[in-house]
Amino acid sequence: MYYIKHMKNIYLILGSILIISACGGDPQESEFVSTCVSSTPGGDSYVELCQCAWDETLKSMNNNEIAAMRRNWNEIGDMQYSVDFISKSTQAGMSCAENAIN
C-alpha cells in the first residue's frame, strides 16, 4: 500500500511537470506564430507554415541577432537587428510557402 501511494505521487508530480513545461514554451515564438496565422485565412496548413517560418528565421539568425530579439530590441544597437529580423522572417516565410506548395 505504501509503495502504491508513493508511485501515485510520483506520477502526479511527473504529469504536472510535463503539463507545465508544455505550457511554458517560447512567448516570442507563440506571438510570432499567432500574428502570422492571424494574417492568413486560417487552417492547420497555415499554422504549419507559420511555425516553419519561425524555425527557419531562427536558423538564419546569428547569436547577436537572437540576443537582440530576446531583449525585444530594447538596446540602441538592437535596431539594426530588428530590420534583419524582418528581412529574414519574410524570406523564411516565402521559402516555407514555396515548399508547402510543392
The one-letter amino acid code at 33 reads V
pLDDT tier, 20 (very low <50, low <70, confident <90, very high otherwise):
very low
The Cα 35–Cα 76 span in angstroms is 25
Q: What is the pLDDT of residue 41?
A: 87
- More confident of the two residues 2 and 27: 27
21-68 pLDDT tens trace: 344 578 999 999 999 999 888 888 899 999 999 999 999 999 999 999
Of 100, 90, 102, nearest to 54 by C-alpha is: 90
Q: What is the pLDDT of residue 24?
A: 54
